[in-house]
């Protein structure tokens, strides 16, 4: 078996393990983590230039940022959700506002009903796992890596997740794109490139 095939199997096993661990956290602990991450992210974003923020609709126990994004919209920011328009292709980011009509996208994750593509200046990217070099373990589709490779200028990339996803390494491959920083309940880890 070649090295990439071994890494794919290892990543699949870690992904499954981390999703299960996340799903089995007690409700009070999940709520505490959510509040800590949201507060840290709110403080961090208050010091960033206002731009269009790409975020995600929560899936499989991810930290729910919709209320925070609605606050930022009220303060004048713009927001967008990732949309899979074709499998194995880069994502599009469609403008989102609180209360707008959505429809089921891939994996039945809601996406805006109306296609209005925008280029986010900042991306909040969900983490299943992550490592000490700022590489992300996602769901295995490669959508964010493909998208980031095509986006110019490249948005500021912030991973959002839980400490239980911290790994020594995800065994990054040449196509993996590292994040600029990661926010968990333990705070902010910034990566200088």
Domains and CATH numbers, the chain: 3-190 (3.40.50.10420)
- 47-87: pLDDT as tens digits: 888 789 999 999 999 999 999 999 999 999 999 999 999 98
Q: Model confidence over 9-24: pLDDT tens digits? A: 999 999 999 999 999 9
CB atoms within 10 A of CB 150: 11
Q: In what order do the strands lie in the sheet with 166-167?
A: 136-137, 129-131, 166-167
pLDDT at residue number 44? 96
Buried b (16+ CB within 10 A) or exposed e, 88-123: eebbbbbbbeeeeebeebeeebebbeeeeeeebbbb
pTM here is 0.95
pLDDT at 4: 85
Those residues with Cβ within 8 angstroms of residue 185's Cβ, 6 or more apart along the chain or in another chain: 32, 33, 36, 37, 40, 162, 163
Say which residue the tokens 């699949």 belong to: 12
Give, in order, the Cα–Cα distances in Å from 153 to each of 2, 28, 56, 132, 143: 34, 40, 20, 25, 18
């Amino acid at each position: 078996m070649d090295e990439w095939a071994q890494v794919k199997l290892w990543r699949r096993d870690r992904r499954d393990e981390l999703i299960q661990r996340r799903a089995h956290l007690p409700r009070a602990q999940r709520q505490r983590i959510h509040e800590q991450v949201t507060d840290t992210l709110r403080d961090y974003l208050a010091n960033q230039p206002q731009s269009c923020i790409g975020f995600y609709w929560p899936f499989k126990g991810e930290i729910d940022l919709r209320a925070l994004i609605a606050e930022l919209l009220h303060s004048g920011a713009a927001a967008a959700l990732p949309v899979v328009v074709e499998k194995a292709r880069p994502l599009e980011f469609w403008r989102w506002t609180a209360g707008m009509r959505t429809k089921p996208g891939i994996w039945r994750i809601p996406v805006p009903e109306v296609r209005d593509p925008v280029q986010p200046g900042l991306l909040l990217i969900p983490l299943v796992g992550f490592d000490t070099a700022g590489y992300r373990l996602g769901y295995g589709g490669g959508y964010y890596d493909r998208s980031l490779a095509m986006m110019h200028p490249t948005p500021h990339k912030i991973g959002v997740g839980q400490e239980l996803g911290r790994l020594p390494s995800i065994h990054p491959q040449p196509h993996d794109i590292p994040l600029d920083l990661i926010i968990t309940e333990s705070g902010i880890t910034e990566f200088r490139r």
